[in-house]
A and B are shown apart, each in its own frame.
Chain A
Amino acid sequence: MPITDETQRFTALSARLTGFDAGDLAATGLVEAYRAVAAERLGADRYAQLLREPPDARDVREAARAVTYLWYTGSWPGPSPTLVSPRGYAEGLVWKAAGLTAPATAPGGYGSWAEGTER
């Protein structure tokens, strides 16, 4: 898939919002999918505004939070958040931030839950 200007701008925005760099984000394989979700959920105007304005500006704050939440959890926020794809759950940045993997995605093997302690 060609890397468009818009993809680049969405990646840069996402990096600022999440604290993960463009390489980490690209490694999830979800940039394009999330860009499309954000554009669809926010609507053209709000999406364009989000790309334009600093993320902590008052009028884009909620949109910025939604995109960040999407990256961290794989779900778009709402009264009952909707999971975008199984991959979104597995690649949720919340797990990476804690140095963990999402349950049921990459089991560490028998006894892995004991790791990191002697005895």
Chain B
Amino acid sequence: MTRYDVIVVGAGIAGSLVAQRLGRHGRRVLVLEAGAKAGRAPAGDPLTDYLTAAARLPGSPYRSRPAAASPEVTDLAGTDGTPGFRAAGHLLQDGPLPYASGYVRANGGTGNVWTGLTPRMLPEDFDTESFGYGRAWPLTYDDLEPHYRSAEAELGVAADADEQRAHLGLRFPDGYVFPMRPLPAARLDRLLAARLDGRRVEDPVGLREVELRVVGTPHARNGVPDPRYDGGRGYVPRGRDGRPDPGSRCVGNASCIPHCPSYAKYTPLKTQGRWSSSVTLRDRSVVSRVLVDGRGRATGVEYRSYDGEVSVAHADVVVLAAHAVENARLLLLSGLADRSGQVGRNLMDHPVLLTWGLLPEGEHAGAYRGPGSVSGFEGFRSGPARKLRAPFRVEFGTWGWIWAKGPVDTDVAHFLTEQGLFGEELRRAVGDRVRRQFTFQFEMEQGADPANRVTLHPTERDALGLPRPLVTYDLDEHVKEGMAAARAVSDQLFALLGAEDHTDYTPSAAWPGRFEHRGRTYGYRGAGHAAGTHIMGGSRATSVVDAWQRCWDHPGLYAVGCGSMPSVATSNPTLTMAALALRSAERIEADLTARDHPLSLRPTVPGAPA
């Protein structure tokens, strides 16, 4: 049997990056991936590619397989009564409110279908305890900063460092520029900037006024390379399978979720395309248990093929990178790493309050033409208002009402069925509606709460006979107060714009995430940003992994991914996760070097605990 240096469980963004880094050092890495490798598109036709990925046609690469099931959008439905939702399928739930996000188990993971927005966390996000909620990180923004830059290189980020510095207070080394210039603002962004920049809105919950400023969001999608990057060496965009593709640009397909037909958006397949030959990917291999020796050191894993055959692989280091929910499930299935009792606990997401409407008559938002969101308002993320309510980031949704109401087909059905229109009248009504649509997406920070958790279902099993994950989830007052503030801000934005507000959280079946708060009804969606299930901390008594994402209790066992994040902050979390994963890869390389040269004197990794 081949002996490996490292086994990586899961070939999503985190796992693919760790394997790439270690492979570069010549390490023998086995990547075990539960999902199937996506087959090559039959004709390579971009439209067929997209429609297949969107599962409008059979053969979708992201269709869940029974042996490696994952949550489907249709698994969650709202109901009348208490609780106001029902969960079926892979991820079962028994909490007061639904955990409303999914993930993908196919090679490349959720990173195939993600939007690709890559903001950094704010320096103050690393310690919210002074605001009275959440958990502090065992590292600071400055500790992570160099790794943010590595992640921005690996993912290929387009953004404006000066703008990020000026409007978000982010610290960069002097002269830092992103690999690519910022994406041009969307038509909607420009319209909002022209009307709203410099205006002030009241936050009745945070008890202050906020000045509005439209700020471009960093994107992991190809734009125009910045010749100043890397000390003037520039940057070469990567295309399909990570090949250098200097001309690759986001061309505005507006289909990034679930698939970018021009390969402008970063996916883990780009990183996999750059793996060295010492990295082996074994797909359709569902890891079911981590193996340890008598002293608790990780020695390998047990995994199963789709027909249930059990195999074992051994290595010096095991890296769990199976996504926050599945990482926790694996640790629980193995009965490991839980001396603190925190495995599976502190599940966080960005619950998203959506508000949507129509621009004033005769105007048009330019919907469905570029990425789903290009810019946003960043002024509600920081400061003392966090004591009173959850902070939030505001994304401008440029794909009409798709997230709130479904695709444009819904608008057609509305005018046909509810209004009985045909002919010229129908054509005018549908055209007007789709042109004027826009959405605000208020992404709330949710603090770590041990009661929000993943456990193993006591009776339900998946197709391989493994207990299904069971989620218990709720939103606390802090988040609900954040949503109340967001709705009040939204009301003022609509008034300032003279826009028609169509926000309405009905019918209940379409809004599993729905609650009343101070006499008003709120509906939320899940952003897909699962975090916190193997939380990182400074002490083995209260956390699952240390600052290097090493399981405290088990030498040689790492758990990487958003599951390690002590706070999910208000930024889309994947860039931070990628930075952490790259940092852990350095630590693993140092561990392996120590194994190979136990007696030699070697420089210690900066900041490494002794």
Binding site for B on A (CB under 8 A): 16-20, 55-56, 64-65, 68-69, 72-73, 75, 77, 81, 83, 86, 89-90, 92-95, 97-100, 103-105, 107-117, 119
Question: Known pairs A103-B368, A110-B251. 5 more at Cβ < 8 A?
Answer: A83-B57, A94-B411, A104-B46, A113-B366, A113-B398
Q: Give Cα A6–Cα B434 distance, bound, in whole angstroms.
A: 33
Report which of A92, A99, A103, A114 forms a contact with B184, defined as CB distance below 8 A: A114
Given known pairs A19-B426, A69-B412, the reply for A115 and B366 (CB within 8 Å) is yes
| B194 closest partner in A (C-beta) | A119
In the complex, chain A residues whose CB is within 8 Å of the CB of B409: 69, 72-73, 75, 81, 94
Q: Give Cα A25–Cα B50 distance, bound, in whole angstroms.
A: 24
What's the nearest-Cβ distance from chain B to residue A116, in Å? 5
What's the nearest-Cβ distance from chain A to residue B544, in Å? 40
B417 within 8 A of A: yes
What's the nearest-Cβ distance from chain A to residue B373, in Å? 11
| B56 closest partner in A (C-beta) | A83
Given known pairs A86-B47, A104-B46, the reply for A116 and B187 (CB within 8 Å) is yes
Cβ B412 vs Cβ A113 within 8 A: no
B428 within 8 A of A: yes
Report which of A83, A98, A104 forms a contact with B434, defined as CB distance below 8 A: A98
Cβ A17 vs Cβ B422 within 8 A: yes
| B45 closest partner in A (C-beta) | A86
What's the nearest-Cβ distance from chain A to residue B502, in Å? 16
Report which of A64, A73, A77 forms a contact with B422, defined as CB distance below 8 A: A64
Cβ B412 vs Cβ A19 within 8 A: no
Cβ B47 vs Cβ A105 within 8 A: yes
Q: Give Cα A65–Cα B415 distance, bound, in whole angstroms.
A: 10
In the complex, chain B residues whose CB is within 8 Å of the CB of A55: 422
Cβ B47 vs Cβ A107 within 8 A: no
In the complex, chain B residues whose CB is within 8 Å of the CB of A93: 427
B587 within 8 A of A: no
Cβ A109 vs Cβ B251 within 8 A: yes
In the complex, chain B residues whose CB is within 8 Å of the CB of A104: 46-47, 49-51, 253-255, 259, 261
B538 within 8 A of A: no
Task: Show 6 A/B contacts (Cβ-Cβ < 8 Å), sorted by A.
Answer: A68-B416, A89-B47, A104-B261, A109-B249, A110-B224, A112-B252
Cβ A112 vs Cβ B369 within 8 A: yes
Q: Give Cα A85–Cα B434 distance, bound, in whole angstroms.
A: 23
Cβ B223 vs Cβ A110 within 8 A: yes
In the complex, chain B residues whose CB is within 8 Å of the CB of A19: 422-428
In the complex, chain A residues whose CB is within 8 Å of the CB of B47: 86, 89-90, 104-105
What's the nearest-Cβ distance from chain A to residue B419, in Å? 11
What's the nearest-Cβ distance from chain B to residue A87, in Å? 9
Q: Give Cα A99–Cα B433 distance, bound, in whole angstroms.
A: 12
Q: Give Cα A83–Cα B56 distance, bound, in whole angstroms.
A: 7
In the complex, chain A residues whose CB is within 8 Å of the CB of B51: 83, 86, 89, 104
| B407 closest partner in A (C-beta) | A73
10 interchain residue pairs of minimum CB distance: A113-B370, A19-B427, A97-B431, A98-B434, A104-B50, A103-B254, A104-B255, A107-B251, A110-B249, A113-B369
| A108 closest partner in B (C-beta) | B252
B435 within 8 A of A: yes
Cβ B412 vs Cβ A111 within 8 A: no
Q: Give Cα A16–Cα B430 distance, bound, in whole angstroms.
A: 16
Cβ B413 vs Cβ A69 within 8 A: yes
Report which of A77, A89, A110, A113 forms a contact with B413, defined as CB distance below 8 A: A77
Most chain B CB within a 10 A radius of its CB, from A17, A114, A116: A114
In the complex, chain B residues whose CB is within 8 Å of the CB of A86: 45, 47-48, 51, 57
Cβ A109 vs Cβ B430 within 8 A: no
Cβ A112 vs Cβ B370 within 8 A: yes
Q: Give Cα A56–Cα B254 distance, bound, in whole angstroms.
A: 36
B374 within 8 A of A: yes
In the complex, chain A residues whose CB is within 8 Å of the CB of B364: 116
Cβ B434 vs Cβ A94 within 8 A: yes
**Residues of B341-368 contacting chain A, CB below 8 A:** 364, 366-368
B191 within 8 A of A: yes
Q: Give Cα A86–Cα B259 distance, bound, in whole angstroms.
A: 15
In the complex, chain B residues whose CB is within 8 Å of the CB of A18: 422-423, 426-427
What's the nearest-Cβ distance from chain A to residue B52, in Å? 9
Cβ A72 vs Cβ B412 within 8 A: yes
